[in-house]
Structure 1
Amino acid sequence: MRKFAFLFLICVAMLTSCGKNNQYKVSGNLDGVSEGEAVLQKIETAGPVAVDTAEIVDGSFNFSGTVEHPELYLIYVNDNKMPIAFFLEQGEISISANVENMQEAEVQGAALNAKFNEFNDSIPSNDRAQNLQQEFMAARQSGDQEKMQQLAAEYQGIMQKQQDYYRDFVFDNTDNAVGAFLAMNMANSLEVAKLEELVASFEESIPGHPYLQQIKDMLEPKQKQEAAETAIQVGKEAPGFTLTDMDGNEISLGDFEGKYVLLDFWASWCKPCRNENPNMVKAYKQFGGENFEIVGVSLDKTSEPWLKAVEEDNITWTQVHDPDGDVANTYGVQSIPFTLLLDKEGVIVEMNLRGEALQTKLEEVL
C-alpha cells in the first residue's frame, strides 16, 4: 500500500511539474498611459483572437497562464492601433513600451524574443528602403523621370537583399518557432523542394507545432500542382477521369478513345470562356463527328448557371460537371479557359488552343 501511495505521489509531482513548465507570466510597464485595459491576442490562421485581458494600473499590467507551444502574440493597449508583437513562451517575460511607439517595445526574459529581435534588427537597409519611398514620391511630384528610375532600381536591389536575408535566416533557424513563423509567411514563394526541406527540418526540431502544420497545409497543394504540371505536358497521356453529364450520366475520358478530343475547362461566370465559345461552335460544326469531339468540363459550383450558359451559347458538344474542381486540380488548371487537344490515343498534342490557332491546328490534324 505504501509503495502504491509513493508511486501516486510521484505521478502527481510529475503532472504538477509539467503544468509549471508550460506556465508563463507576462509583466508590462507602459509610458504614456496610466490606466485602461491591455488585451492579449493570439495570431490564428483567420486573424488575431483575444485570449485574455488585464487592467492597467499605474502603467503596469500582468498576464499569466499556460502555453503549449511558443507562438506570436499581440498586446493591444486601450484604443492604440499599434500592438506589441512578441513570442509568448513558458517562463517570465517582461515588456517595456511607450504607447507612442509600441513597435519599439523591449521584450526580455524569453529566448525566442531575442531571436525575433535579432531578425528584425538585422534586416538590411530597412531605414534606407523607407527613405527611398519618400524620395520616389518627391521625384514623381517633380516629374523627374531619371531620378525615379534610379530610386526604383536602388529599391529593387534592397528588396532582393532583404528577400535573400529573410530566406537565409529561415534556413538557419529550423530549430525554433521564430524560424517556423517566418517560414510560414514565405512558404508560398518557395519552390516545392525547398519547402519540403524546411518541413523535414522542423519535423525534427519542433514536431507538432501549429506553425509546422500550417506549412504542411501550404505544401500539399504546391506538391499537387507540381505533380499536375509534370503530368500535363505535350507528349504525355492525359489523366483519365469520370464525371456526370447534363443528364446525370457518367462520362469517362476513355469513352472517346479513337477520336481527337479537345478538353475545355470553363465556367458560365468566366467571360473569356463565354467569348471563346463562338469559336468552339464554329470548330465543332466543321470538325465534330466521327474523328473529333469537344469535352467541356464545367467548373460551375451549381448546375443551373452551367445549363443556362450551354443553352445560351448554342453548345452541342459533350458537357460534364466538375463542381469541386477535382479534375481541374488533377490537370493543374490555374485559370480558365484552359484547353488541351488530345490525339486518338489520349496523348496531349497541344495546350491552350483558341480562336484561329484552334482552327488551324484542327485543319492540320484532321
Structure 2
Amino acid sequence: MRKLLLIGLLFSVMYSCNTGTNEFLVKGKLENADGKTIFLSEYTESGPVTVDSAQIDKKGEFKLKGNTSYPQFFMLRTAPNQGITLIIDSADVLKISGDFEDLAMTYEVDGSENMKLVKELDKQLQVSLNKIDSLGKIYQEFGTENEIDSVKKAELDDEFKTIFNTQKEFSKAFVDKNVSSFVSMMALSQQIAQRVPVFNITEDLAYFEKVDKALFEKYPNSKDVLSLHKFIEQIKNPTQQQQPATSFGIGNEVPNITENNPDGKKLSLSSLRGNYVLLDFWAGWCRPCRMESPNLVVNYNKYHKKGFEIFQVSLDQKREMWTDAIEKDKLGQWNHVSDLGYWQSVHARAYNIMSIPASYLLDPEGKVIGINLRGEQLGAKLMEIYGF
C-alpha cells in the first residue's frame, strides 16, 4: 500500500513494431499469477479508468497496451487497492517482473529511465520506513510494559528526527538532480510515516515551485502537471482563488448538509455546532486536494481535543476511489459524506462549488470566518483561534 500513496499506478510503453508513435506496451512475467487478471488504469477526474487488462498465462506472462503523448501516471493493479505506480512515456517499453501476491514489494522494471529513478527513490524511502518501524516497536514495548521515561522518549524522538532529516536531505538532493522529471512529483508526495510528509507545502514551498516551473515549461499540456501548477498558484495567491460561493461570505451562516458516510450512515453538518468546523469539498481524484491532506491531518491532531472538527464532502463518482483516498491519506478520524454525484452533487450545487479544493471555516454558530484557507493560512487562523 505504501507504493500507492497520493498518485496511483503508471504503466505504459511503446510498441517498437507499431506505427502508432504514442502507443506503449507493458509486458511482464510474474510468479504466482497463473490464470489471474492484471489491470492497467489511468487516473481521471471521475476516477480510475481501466486502459487495458489481461489474463496472465501459465508461464506468468502478460501484455498490456495503451497510448500517451507524454509522461503520465498509471496504476498496475493486481487487486482494487493493490499494485504499483508507474510513470510511462510514449517511447517506453516496460518489462515487469515480481510476485503477483506481493507486487509492491517485489517488482522490478526494465526499459524506462523514469522507473529507474522511481526505484532509486523508493529504495531510500523503504530504508527509512524500516527504521521507523523498528522505532515504533520500541515505543510499543515501553507503552505496554513500562512507563516510558522522559530521557528514553527524548532519545527515541532524536532518532526519529535523524531518520527524517536523512530522508529529507536525500529527497531534496533527488529533486534538485531530477527537477524536470515526473519522478520529482512522486518525491514531493512522499510520507516517511503515517501522516508525516517529507515535504511540507509551507516550509518547502520553494521545492514545490521549482518542480512546478520545470515541469510546466516542459509538459504544459499534461493533466498531472497542470493539476500541480494550479495547486501551487492557489497556495501562492490565496486571494485570487475562486470563492466557493459568493452568497456565503464572511459572517454568513451556511446551509446544513445531511448525507451518507462511507458506511451508509447519515451525518449532518449541523450536529457539529458548538465547535469550529472546517467544511471541505474535495475528491479522491483531485491531486491538489490530496496534497493538502497531510496539512489537514496535522491541524486536526493538534486542535481536535480543543474542539476542532473537519466535515469533508466528496465530489467523487466512484465509492471505491473515495474510500481508497480516505484510507491512503489517513483521513478516517473525521467526518466524511458524499452522494457520489461528481460535479452534479446536490451539495456542490447548493454551495455553488465550481472548483476544488474549496472550503469554509465555520465558527461554533455555523457562520463563515474563513474561505479557502489552506497550508500556512489554515494553520495561522487556527493558531489565532486556539492561541497555540
Would the TM-score normalized by the shorter structure come out above 0.5? yes
**Where does 1:1-366 land on structure 2 (aligned, <5 Å)?**
20-44=20-44, 47-58=47-58, 59-77=60-78, 79=79, 82-89=82-89, 90-103=91-104, 104-123=106-125, 125-146=128-149, 147-183=152-188, 188-189=201-202, 194-225=207-238, 265-267=251-253, 269=270, 271=274, 336=363
Tell me, yes or no, if the aligned pair for 2:70 and 2:219 is still in contact at 8 Å: no
Q: 1:92: how far off? A: 1.6
* Gap change, CA 1:46 and 1:184, over 3 Å in 2: farther
What letter matches 2:251 in structure 1? F
Secondary structure of the 2:52 match is strand
Q: 1:43: how far off? A: 3.4
Higher RCO by CA contacts (8 Å cutoff, separation 6 or greater) = 2
Name the stretch that deviates more: 113-122 or 61-70.
61-70
Q: 1:199: how far off? A: 2.2
Return the alpha-carbon distance in structure 1 between the equivalents of residues 102 and 208 of structure 2.
Answer: 35
Q: 1:171: how far off? A: 3.3
Name the stretch that deviates more: 101-110 or 60-69.
60-69
Return the alpha-carbon distance in structure 2 between the equivalents of residues 187 and 273 of structure 1.
Answer: 24
Return the alpha-carbon distance in structure 1 between the equivalents of residues 46 and 154 of structure 2.
Answer: 39
TM-score by length of 1: 0.55
What letter matches 1:121 in structure 2? K
Q: 1:39: how far off? A: 0.9
Q: 1:175: how far off? A: 1.6
Return the alpha-carbon distance in structure 1 between the equivalents of residues 41 and 229 of structure 2.
Answer: 24
Tell me, yes or no, if the aligned pair for 1:187 and 1:215 is still in contact at 8 Å: no
- Unpaired runs of 5+ residues, structure 1, are 1-15, 229-242, 246-262, 275-322, 327-331, 341-350, 355-366
* Gap change, CA 1:93 and 1:18, over 3 Å in 2: closer
* Residue in structure 1 matched with residue 325 of structure 2 by the alignment: none
Return the alpha-carbon distance in structure 1 between the equivalents of residues 231 and 133 of structure 2.
Answer: 31
User: Equivalent pairs: percent with the same residue?
Assistant: 16
* Gap change, CA 1:46 and 1:117, over 3 Å in 2: farther
* Residue in structure 1 matched with residue 328 of structure 2 by the alignment: none
Tell me, yes or no, if the aligned pair for 1:73 and 1:87 is still in contact at 8 Å: yes
Q: 1:62: how far off? A: 0.6
Secondary structure of the 2:36 match is strand
Q: 1:325: how far off? A: 9.4
Return the alpha-carbon distance in structure 2 between the equivalents of residues 92 and 244 of structure 1.
Answer: 52
Max Rg structure:
1
Secondary structure of the 1:76 match is strand
TM-score by length of 2: 0.52
Deviations 1:273-320 (A, max 9, x none): 89xxxxxxxxxxxxxxxxxxxxxxxxxxxxxxxxxxxxxxxxxxxxxx
Return the alpha-carbon distance in structure 1 between the equivalents of residues 369 and 111 of structure 2.
Answer: 58
Q: 1:153: how far off? A: 3.4
Number of residues of Structure 1 aligned to a counterpart in Structure 2? 246
Secondary structure of the 1:174 match is coil
Q: 1:182: how far off? A: 3.5
Q: 1:31: how far off? A: 0.8
* Gap change, CA 1:333 and 1:25, over 3 Å in 2: closer
Q: 1:80: how far off? A: 7.9
Tell me, yes or no, if the aligned pair for 1:25 and 1:63 is still in contact at 8 Å: yes
Q: 1:272: how far off? A: 5.0
Secondary structure of the 2:69 match is coil
What letter matches 1:158 in structure 2? I
Q: 1:51: how far off? A: 1.6
* Gap change, CA 1:31 and 1:113, over 3 Å in 2: same
What letter matches 1:100 in structure 2? E
* Gap change, CA 1:150 and 1:130, over 3 Å in 2: same
